Amino acid sequence: MMKKLDSCLKESQHYNSVVSNTMSRLTRRDYTFKSGRVPLKLPKGTFVTAPATAMHLCEKNYGPDATEWKGFRFTGILAVDKNAHQAVATNAVATNTKYLAFSHGRHVCPGRFFAVNELKMVLTYTLLRYDIRLPAIGTKGGQRIHMLLEGDR
């Protein structure tokens, strides 16, 4: 694990996930969640999904700076989540009920190990060989900067 780089990659997906919802499922039989204060009954054929972006940007989960980009957020995650083990929380491939960019549970993305390693290689290569800076556009007024990948013409 590369603690700071893992945290930056994780924060990028926390701040701006590829998917806004994960764990989308269609119930194949009636099901009742018994863990809440009131049992939640889902009839067969109900579409359910986990609102990843809303969970990520929620102050209850990530504190008052939940909507800011903080590259080293996950190096100090214990300040927010006392139950998370530091290494598990920092690792970019680690998931939990509050970090859903790769989903969570039985069908969590199996390609995340490959994806994170590729990203680390691309970033390392870029940092070693290029001088980079952000363009002026997209940096004003807290506007989010999106990456645009254009194919060959």
Binding site for ligand HEM (CB under 6 A): 18-19, 22-23, 101-103, 107, 109-112, 114-115
Report in angstroms how near the CB of residue 145 gets to ligand HEM at its nearest: 17
What the block records as the tokens of 32 is 């009742």
Question: Given its phi and psi angles, is residue 30 left (phi above 0), alpha (psi -120 to 50 degrees) or beta?
Answer: beta
For ligand HEM, give the closer residue by CB, 7 or 103: 103
For ligand HEM, give the closer residue by CB, 1 or 78: 1
For ligand HEM, give the closer residue by CB, 78 or 125: 125
Strand-pairing partners, residue 41, are 32
d(CA 47, CA 42): 9
Strand-pairing partners, residue 50, are 22
Strand-pairing partners, residue 132, are none
Residue number with the shortest CB distance to ligand HEM?
111
For ligand HEM, give the closer residue by CB, 33 or 76: 33
Report in angstroms how near the CB of residue 141 gets to ligand HEM at its nearest: 27
3-state secondary structure of 36: coil
